[in-house]
Structure 1
Amino acid sequence: MTIEAHGYDQTDARPYNRVNLFDVWRRIEPYVRGSVALFLFLLLWEYAPRLGWINRTFFPPISEVVIKGIEFAASGQLWPQVLVSVGRALGGFALGVVTAVPLGIVLGWSKSLEAYLNPLLQLLRQTNPVSLFPVFILFFGIGYATNIAIIYWVVVWPILLGTVNGVRYVDPALVKYARSVGLPSWKIFVKVVAPSAVPSIITGMRLAATYSFMMLVVSEMVGASSGLGYLIVNAQYLMSVHLLYVGVIILALLGIASNWGLASLERYLTAWKQDVNP
């Protein structure tokens, strides 16, 4: 019995395998492209101290940092610090969203009101948040309220500007079409303006989330007895370099997680675009 009797052509084996390998590579290539730089960075972090390129006293290998982080987490001392910091960052961020999005909608919808308030808003936006630390301490004292206030001050501006721009720069053709079919102003806003402004609002939120974790460290370095910022400063004073990098890595991971979550929210809220433009 020959091979051809079973309907198998041996000459097609090699091209078929090539096509399969190409398809597999095409599927995994985006993941490889997205992780190769990170892998090389971690590899450099691991071996540069071991080879003496960097003083490992101040920059230990990443494997030692990870082991220290696991031990610290297993002892039950890490998660309370993480939860405290996440609560502060989330509190300031949520307060910024609650206030900045409605105000941004009003300013973007009413150009006359925006013309009156814009100079004041620009002045406040340019004020360095670190320089306002003594002011917040005077008003709120040293504690949770001051941490929330300083984070709020940082996150409110990108959300506000993103919302204003999102509302203001909606496609005029869509608004004209909605008016031409007789939709009232509130329906135009709900059906046209709000969905079109979502990407710009989410972009402002993503910037704000990044800023919130950056300012979180600063706020917890002054007048705080808990949190990742306090952990980093305390590790510096105690010369616990491994623990210092544990705090830095966790803050970076929290920033990545928040960015991923907001990006997923944007995809969910703008799913209608895929339906309109398949």
Structure 2
Amino acid sequence: MAGGRGETLILQEKKSLNWGWPLAQLRKAIKNSIVILAMLVIWEAAPRAGLVNTTFLPPVTEVAAAWWQLLLSGDLAEHMGASLARSMGGFLLAILISIPLGLAIGWWKPVSEYLNPLLELMRNTAALAILPVFILLLGLGETSKVAIVLYACLFPLLLNTISGVKNVDPLLIKSARSMGLSPVSLFRKVIIPASLPTIFVGIRQAGASSILVLVAAEMVGATSGLGYLIQYSQFSFLIPQMYAGIITISVIGVILNFLLVNLEKRLTGWKQSYRE
């Protein structure tokens, strides 16, 4: 009898745990989104109550209807695809260039001494400030837009990678050397894993820059993309479509950040377990 009661209690505890996890997640989702929902309610109510001019700030339901029409017509997918291709192209190129270069600068002093002066000069030059130079040299086509995204993503990635390498705990390095690790093994098994959390900070910053800078570039010279859609809608006085484009950019940024955070958790599981 005692054994049967024990099994019953265990089953009841398992059921409560199975139900408890989704409820906890639901409560967390509601808590995280309550401010956004409140903002949407205010956005809907303010124009309808006459607090703001509906011409310049239409209710959120009208913006949602415009977004849906753009989606059905295929215009939104076309512009979004063009922007994503450009931003992801520059972003991935920046990762391929910046991370190996940052690891080299952070770990090998001669490389740092040669390249640091150039980096200090270029890091203080805003990407949009030299956009005209990219357009003059590369034209108004896709190359100039990918290049400006590459430039904007380069320095957040590079500087965070350098910082990650230089701030590795010296005790880890001493312990690894005392165990007889070769320089190559030390770099591969200690320096790179210990630098990953800081590198991912740079990756997330670069991901945000890849979208923001591209939108500004598309407003200057493009015939497609979300930046072009926003500016064209503004000039044509299609205000709901303009807000629909802005919201699309925000959603893309949130999704990209969510994917990068989850990738970081997978690659730095040791850090998460240490925190727990």
Length-normalised TM-score, structure 1: 0.88
Aligned to 2:143: 145
Instruction: Give 2:205's aligned residue.
Output: 207
**What pairs up with 1:164-243 in 2 under 5 angstroms?**
164-243=162-241
- Give the Cα separation in 2 of the matches to 1:27 and 1:240: 39
- C-alpha contact 2:173 2:190 (8 A) present in aligned 1: yes
Equivalent in 63, 66, 73 of residue 75 of structure 1: 73
Specify which of 42, 62, 65 is matched with residue 63 of structure 2: 65
Q: How does 1:1-278 map to 2 (within 5 A)?
A: 28-274=26-272
Relative to structure 1, the CA distance from residue 23 to residue 197 in structure 2 (aligned partners, 3 Å threshold; closer, same or farther) is closer
* Whole-angstrom CA distance in 1 between matches of 2:21 and 2:235: 53
What's 1:13 paired with?
Answer: none
| Deviations, residues 4-61 of structure 1 (Å, cap 9, x unaligned) | xxxxxxxxxxxxxxxxxx9997664432321111111111111111111111111111
Q: Helix, strand or coil: the match of 1:170? A: coil
Change in CA separation of 1:241 and 1:274 when aligned onto 2, cut-off 3 Å? closer
Q: Select between 108-117 and 214-223 the one with higher mean Cα deviation.
A: 108-117
SS of 1:58's equivalent? coil
Which amino acid is 2:152 matched to? V
Deviations 1:207-242 (A, max 9, x none): 111111111111111221001010011001100000
Number of residue pairs aligned between Structure 1 and Structure 2: 259
Instruction: Report the secondary structure of 1:35's partner residue.
Output: helix
Structure 1 residues 276 and 33: alpha-carbon distance in aligned structure 2, compared to 1, 3 A threshold: closer
Deviation at 1:94, TM superposition (A): 0.7
Could you say which structure has the larger radius of gyration?
1
Q: Distance in 2 between matches of 1:23 and 1:142?
A: 52
SS in 1 for 2:255: helix
Residues 80 and 225, structure 2, Cα contact 8 Å, conserved in 1? yes
The CA RMSD measured in Å over matched residues stands at 2.0
Is the CA contact (8 Å cut-off) linking 2:98 and 2:157 kept in structure 1? Answer: yes
Q: 1: CA distance between counterparts of 2:262 and 2:23? A: 26
Letter of the 2:205 partner, please give it. Answer: L
Query: d(CA) in 2 for partners of 1:27 and 1:259?
Result: 19
State the AA in 2 paired with 1:254.
I
Moved more, 130-139 or 242-251: 130-139
TM-score, scaled to structure 2: 0.89
Query: Quick one: structure 1 residues 258 and 25, their matched pair in 2 at CA, closer, same or farther if it must change by over 3 Å?
Result: closer
What amino acid does structure 1 have at the position aligned with 2:47?
Answer: P
Distance in 2, matches of 1:89 and 1:249, equals 17
- Inter-CA distance 93–26: structure 2 relative to 1 (3 Å threshold): closer
Please list the CA deviations of residues 48-105 of structure 1 after superposition, one character each: whole Å capped at 9, or x if unmatched: 1111111111111111111111111111221011000000000110111111011100
In 1, Cα distance between the equivalents of 2:235 and 2:271?
A: 52
Can you list the C-alpha shifts for 1:233-257, whole angstroms capped at 9, x where unaligned?
Answer: 1001100000000110000011111
